[in-house]
Chains A and B, each alone.
Chain A
Amino acid sequence: MKKTLALLLAFVMVFAMAVTAYAEPAPDTKVAVFWYAFSDAYLSTVRAELDADFEAAGIDYQDFDSNNNQGTQLEQVQTAVTNGFTVLVVNLVTSGSADAAQQIIEAANGLPVIFFNRAVEGDGEEHTVLDAYDNIAFIGTDAPEAGHMQGKMIGEFLVENFDDVDLNGDGEISYAMFMGDAANVEAIYRTQYGVEDANAVLAEAGKPELVYFNANNTDKYQLDPNGAWSSAAGNEFMGTNLAEYNEGNGNMIELVIANNDDMAIGAISALQAAGYNLGDGECTKIPVFGVDATQVAKDAIADDTMTGTVKQDNVGMATAICGAVAGVAGGEAVADVVAAVAEEDEIFSVADGFTNKLFVAYAPYTGTEAEE
């Protein structure tokens, strides 16, 4: 009996190996794409687009899951280099760390590296990485742009609906802010400008500034302790907040701002558990804003449970990466490739002062825009 079991286990291992049998032999251009975490909702939509683009272009590629661990990512890059990949596309785990980026570039041993989405240079160290090497590029978003856009959207929404949003009629809007990751520059800017820009719009319309719901919290945000931008964190924080701050106590949170859609969705489900934002047209709807325009968020906006988000263009991002990879693999200089991609569409632009940094534009999304 035991022996049969042991044999069975041996077969499991053989089976595990057999599963691997469909691996294809490699042609000349081999692209390795390193994702900071497969579990990230927005980047998964980029991955689906990018995989399709690579297949359509006949480019041989392989995806790697760095599982939110910079050490794992470095090891994967080292392994990919020894495995004969020719172009590396890297979604850096430690966003905004020049040192982490340099370690990757050094491990790449002269191969072209295209970074995307997560910044390779932090605040105040611009040009330290991108100018130091000649065959690297960065494709991403202008970090503060999403925050500015979100803030402006919130401000405009509030100017139009101020009295509806101000549930307790005290003439002020109290808000909650959920931050995705303390170490991420995008998160830092979104946390800052999401409120600042909204206040600017409100001030222009002669309305009072937003007030953070909890006067004891001087940070004025609640941070995902794992830096994972997760809906679980949004949900737990919001649920806890609602136990203390609610209409019964006359101090209900009247506005929710989240760094990304996942956290916004988590907050919405906590609101729903408390009887808000059910989308039935009868209950009170607390305006919730996110960033990314993931499918879930778009559905939530269509169902009238969420108010607005900022669209991070996954299709555009994938198009830009695929175009850059094709150019670099063809042996063209990185600066020429980036310039050529920027020509392709008005949502792409080369960053000021750089030749190898390409921005993909954000767009506001409240469900009223024409869908492509």
Chain B
Amino acid sequence: MEKSNFFARKRQEYLALDRIDRRRYWTDGLLNNALYILMALFIIYTAIKNPNFVKPGSIVNMIQLAAVSLPMALGIGGCIVLTGTDLSAGRVFGLAAGMSAAFLQNRAASKLIFEKLPATSGGWIIAVMLLVMLAGAVIGVVNGFFVAKFSLHPFIVTLATQLITYGFILMFFQINGNGGGPISNVAKEFKDAVSGPCFKIAAWNVSIPWYVIFALILVVIMWFVWNKTRFGKNMFAVGSNMEAAKVSGVNVFMTTVLVHTLAGALYGFAGFVEAARLGSVTAATGLNNECDAIAACVIGGVSFVGGTGNIGGIVVGVFVLRIIFVALNMLGINPNLQYIIKGAIILAACSLDMRKYLVKK
């Protein structure tokens, strides 16, 4: 009942517009939703050119790919809401991946990083997950502390911590005569628990790995944190106007530190998943991963202006990037051109999205 009222009212409003306003209604409508319209066209075009693109196996593949990038994007999104960014994300991710692989090696393997560790059990896997999230959170605390305490731009702070973290990664990869080589021989139990199938869809001959479920849970948790908690509301207040937030009694220091800490913990979790997914981690793992996460957030409407953005947007942004990645491959585009097209799409998508805020202001 309410719904039909809504449409009737909209219709009334539309009929009341004059010719020029009606034209504006359509052009504004088109441009404000240009990202979605163009994505729809892009998907339809790709599907016509290559029907494999929309087959169940391919769709499940895209969901998996999105689930892999989601945790980092969810973390970095908070930093962007605070008008900041986080360049250390990729390296924190790499450190967490390296630690996860080292702590969860197959105990029977010949070359072990740590020789005296408990056997791989469910409890130990969870303990390692919490440990690497803690490691990420510690780096996040450092980031947040320097940003909040000394009013340094997060770009500078995280640039520095990125380098520091890389130094730790290199040292970590040299433990016990590993000499900087890859850390592999990851325990099967660990792989099964993270990247093993959670359930199979027999009709389509596809299976959904556990990390897709984890990503789903994270999205729900983060949605709750951003929308339903005092911390989430404070984060948006600080992001949109720090002075105003301070005057109205928000603890800006605590909020900034917590946003970065939460982000660090999420990068840690993402690295934990990556170790299970790849089965082998190198010191270069995670390099530049933050770029895709930042791009996903910005495409999804988390603005560098600060104080705007939502979890749903980040999910959309991650999917848009992944769909572009798969579609460009499916269309058989030359990889040289793929970088150019990806860049052009990010630029265009963000500009179209930004237009909404410019008009509002």
A100 and B182 within 8 A (CB): yes
A70 and B285 within 8 A (CB): yes
CA distance A74 to B277 in the complex (A): 9
Q: Mark A80-104, 1 if CB is under 8 A from B, else 0.
A: 1111100000000010111110110
A19 located at the interface, meaning its Cβ lies under 8 Å from any Cβ of chain B in the complex: yes
Q: Which residues of A contact B55 (CB under 8 A)?
A: 82
User: In this complex, which of A62, A96, A226 has the most chain B Cβ atoms within 10 angstroms of its Cβ?
Assistant: A62
CA distance A80 to B50 in the complex (A): 12
Q: Which residues of A contact B329 (CB under 8 A)?
A: 62, 64, 76, 79-80, 83
CA distance A308 to B358 in the complex (A): 60
CA distance A82 to B332 in the complex (A): 13
B179 located at the interface, meaning its Cβ lies under 8 Å from any Cβ of chain A in the complex: yes
Q: Which residues of A contact B180 (CB under 8 A)?
A: 182-183, 223
A6 and B280 within 8 A (CB): no
Given known pairs A79-B326, A182-B180, the reply for A74 and B278 (CB within 8 Å) is: yes
Q: Which residues of A contact B53 (CB under 8 A)?
A: 83
Given known pairs A10-B31, A17-B41, A79-B329, the reply for A96 and B348 (CB within 8 Å) is: no
Q: Which residues of A contact B347 (CB under 8 A)?
A: 9, 12
CA distance A124 to B348 in the complex (A): 51
Interface residues of A in 195-240 (CB under 8 A from B): 223, 225-227
B330 and A79 within 8 A (CB): yes
Specify which of B50, B325, B352, B358 is in contact with A9 (CB 8 Å cutoff): B352
Q: Which residues of A contact B179 (CB under 8 A)?
A: 182
A19 and B326 within 8 A (CB): no
CA distance A183 to B282 in the complex (A): 8
B42 located at the interface, meaning its Cβ lies under 8 Å from any Cβ of chain A in the complex: yes
Interface residues of B in 176-212 (CB under 8 A from A): 179-182, 184-186
Q: Which residues of B contact A74 (CB under 8 A)?
A: 277-278
For the side of the interface on B, what is the size category?
A: 35 or more
Q: Which residues of B contact A13 (CB under 8 A)?
A: 34, 38, 42, 344-345, 348-349
A71 and B274 within 8 A (CB): yes
CA distance A82 to B331 in the complex (A): 13
Question: Smallest Cβ distance from A100 to chain B, in angstroms?
Answer: 4
Given known pairs A3-B27, A19-B337, A99-B185, the reply for A226 and B284 (CB within 8 Å) is: yes
B348 and A12 within 8 A (CB): yes
CA distance A230 to B334 in the complex (A): 24
Specify which of A19, A76, A103 is in contact with B279 (CB 8 Å cutoff): A103
B351 and A183 within 8 A (CB): no
Q: Which residues of B contact A122 (CB under 8 A)?
A: 181-182, 184
Closest to B166 in A: A225
CA distance A63 to B335 in the complex (A): 7
Question: Smallest Cβ distance from A274 to chain B, in angstroms?
Answer: 29
Q: Which residues of B contact A97 (CB under 8 A)?
A: 182, 184, 280, 282
CA distance A70 to B50 in the complex (A): 26
Which residues of B are at the interface with A, using a C-beta cutoff of 8 A?
27, 31, 34, 38, 41-42, 45, 49-50, 52-53, 55, 57-58, 61, 64-65, 68, 110-111, 170, 173, 179-182, 184-186, 274, 277-280, 282-285, 287, 325-326, 328-338, 341, 344-345, 347-349, 351-352, 355, 358-359
Can you list the 6 inter-chain pairs with the closest CB atoms, starting with the nearest? A182-B180, A99-B279, A99-B280, A65-B335, A99-B184, A82-B58
Which residues of A are at the interface with B, using a C-beta cutoff of 8 A?
2-3, 5-7, 9-10, 12-17, 19-20, 23-26, 38, 62-65, 68-71, 74-76, 78-84, 94, 96-100, 102-103, 122, 124, 182-183, 223, 225-227
Task: Taking A14-B41, A71-B285, A183-B283 as given, write out 9 further A-B residue pairs in contact, using a Cβ cutoff of 8 Å, ordered by the A residue number.
Answer: A6-B352, A12-B348, A64-B329, A70-B280, A74-B278, A76-B329, A98-B280, A99-B185, A226-B284
